[in-house]
Amino acid sequence: MTQNTRQVLLVCSVVAVMFGGMAWLIPAAKEPNIWWLRIGALVLLAWVIGFSAWAKRRRDLAPDFLAQLSANFFEQDGFAFVVGTEVLEGVGYLCVWFQNRYERPCEAMVLVRTSERWLAPQRHLPDAKVSLTCQPGAFGKALVPWPLPLELQGRKVLLDVMARRKYPRGRGKLLRRRTGLRVGSAPQSAISDALKVLGVLGGCHGGRAARTEIQLPRDVATTPLLTLQPHPETIWRFGDPTDRPTDSPATSQFLQMKRI
């Protein structure tokens, strides 16, 4: 069920309860036509309940791989993901497990930054950004080097998570119905970034980021590694067997995580 559909159902429920409740408070002897409003409110409420039950029973056309990694995940209008960390050869990485909920490819970007930019010592934590292309219904993993200050290594930190996604040819059919925690849109430029900061300071929270807590790794590089580039890897594509993802290092790690 899409975000728009849930909002429509919520509005219909509120309308049915409010107008139906008022209709039953008005004596039918004074307003004989009030029965039409009573019946209409009951029919609308019954339709909302029936449609919600039908939507929950529908089968997904793509497996929910993210559910095997975490009970909760983030989402930006069809692009779903989970964030974490990983260490490879002494280098710390921001790790993003992702899945496309629709049948057409999307271009996405995930941005992670400290939630306490004005407080010590988390203000020294650099932003981390992952850009990738996600195929229809595909599930995969992307890594980007994340140089971590020495004083923050091994600590738990609060992070703001934002994302941006684009479906160049439209989203198409919905393949996986479980929705995630909606995140705010990532800024597209330094100017828009500054506007977001001013909006937060002024009490305007449009496009508010989601918040998560992450355990940072220890004994990793503290300086930027300019030669290392983000490396997205697709583990499963729509149409692949659901019980046997493609053979890759990321797949092996995913299967190990499933067994834990």
88 Cβ contact partners less than 8 Å away, ≥ 6 residues apart: 143
What pLDDT, in 10s, does the model give residues 98-146? Answer: 999 999 999 999 999 988 666 656 778 889 999 999 999 999 999 999 9
212 Cβ contact partners less than 8 Å away, ≥ 6 residues apart: 74, 83, 158, 159, 161
How far, CA to CA in Å, does 105 sit from each of 136, 169, 173, 178, 238? 5, 8, 11, 18, 11
Orientation angle between helical segments 3-25 and 34-57, nearest 10 degrees: 150
What pLDDT, in 10s, does the model give residues 229-256? Answer: 767 889 998 888 876 566 666 666 665 5
Separation of alpha carbons 149 and 230, rounded Å: 20
247 Cβ contact partners less than 8 Å away, ≥ 6 residues apart: none
What pLDDT, in 10s, does the model give residues 28-70? Answer: 777 778 888 888 888 888 888 887 776 666 677 888 899 888 8
- The class of domain 65-259 in CATH terms is mainly beta
The count of C-alpha atoms lying within 13 angstroms of the C-alpha of 225, restricted to the half-sphere facing its C-beta, is 18
Q: What pLDDT, on the 0 to 100 scale, is given for residue 2? A: 56
Task: Identify the DSSP state of 241.
Answer: -
